[in-house]
Chain A
Amino acid sequence: MTDQTYTVGSGNKPTKTKYQVKVINDKCIGAASCVAVAAMTFKLNDLNKADIIDQDGNVDSEKLLAAQSCPTAAIEVIDMATGEKIWPK
């Protein structure tokens, strides 16, 4: 067993990130894992769906983790430098 490895969402706001995130509205069930993991990038709206408030709100690793932890894979991550879809694979 190892000690705690990582606390998400606690870093300083990055100046510029390379990953762009996109919410697939129909898939979003308002589970809010994205908000918990990357609170400066996502928020829930009045319809309990995730909205993006700032593409550069969190570092890339936190945005990717937000997408990976979404129970319905409602978040896509694109590497803007290459155009590659990073998540879902």
Chain B
Amino acid sequence: MPQILNGLLIRKVNLAGNCWLVTFEFPDDYPFLAGQYVSLKVAEDGTRRSYSIASAPGGKVIELLVDVGPMGAGSRYILGLKPGDSVEVLGPLGRFTLPPSPKKVLFVATGSGIVPFRPMIHELLEKRSFTDEIHLDWGMRYEEDLFWIDEFKKLETDHPNFKFDVVLSKPTKEWSACSGHVNDCLIKHRASYLGWEAFLCGNQQMIEEVTATLSGLGVRREDIHFEKFF
């Protein structure tokens, strides 16, 4: 059951471009499931904004990644926060979470849609010792907007069953990895995704395209889970 709690901002870091990682601490452990989100009160009139939790469950601290690109009420609120400020947090919320026994897992994200996958992947690899294949495809526009690359590369090194690909839609000439849309690269990676379970998070167009592609490549509709951004 969600609760309204006051958290203290203890850290705010610009990861890249418009993306800020903000860290809140609560008086007690903050229980949630990897993939869930919280709703922050960002104005006195009751206006709220939803942000996926970027950190792994456990402890009194949660991290949120906020893309301030839209520069709306949430962006302005986050940019105005400083360490020590108190924030009203409603949560945890959301049903976009890992099943108890997933199949081979494909994660497909665009932009900040990668956020809920970070704790999910850590949970699978480090807490559940999941040994079947996990593949993360992350679509972004520009190389300079990327973050968490070293972290995912290390997971890839430490866990042979984890594969990570970045797909840039606006790559430089020097970019040698995947380019275009994530949907294009899924087809290049595998001829079939039969027996896979997919988690999609990002814009509606990506979700519709990837759902259609994966359905045609053997993934059952009930094994495609998604969280739309808006």
Contact = CB atoms under 8 A, between A and B. Distances in A.
B5 to A, nearest CB: 6
A59 to B, nearest CB: 14
Q: Which label, helix, strand, loop or mixed, suits the secondary structure of the A interface? A: loop
| Size class of the B contact interface (CB-based, 8 Å) | 20 to 34
Contact of B93 (A5, A10, A36, A68): A36
B230 A1 contact: no
Contacts of A36: 1-2, 93-94
Interface stretch (B45-53, B100-108, B123-131, B142-150): B45-53
The residue among A31, A37, A89 with the most chain B CB atoms within 10 A of its own CB is A31
Contacts, number: 73
B80 interface: no
Nearest to A44: B95
Contacts of B228: 29
Q: Which label, helix, strand, loop or mixed, suits the secondary structure of the B interface? A: strand
B70 interface: no
Nearest to B3: A7
Contacts of A37: 2, 90
Interface in A34-49: 36-37
A69 B86 CA distance: 19
B230 A72 contact: yes
Contacts of A6: 3-4
Contacts of A7: 1-4
Interface string A1-15: 111111111100000
B75 interface: no
12 contacts: A2-B86, A4-B27, A5-B6, A6-B4, A7-B1, A8-B90, A9-B1, A29-B228, A36-B1, A68-B39, A69-B48, A89-B45
Interface of B: 1-8, 25-28, 37, 39, 45-50, 86, 90, 93-95, 227-228, 230
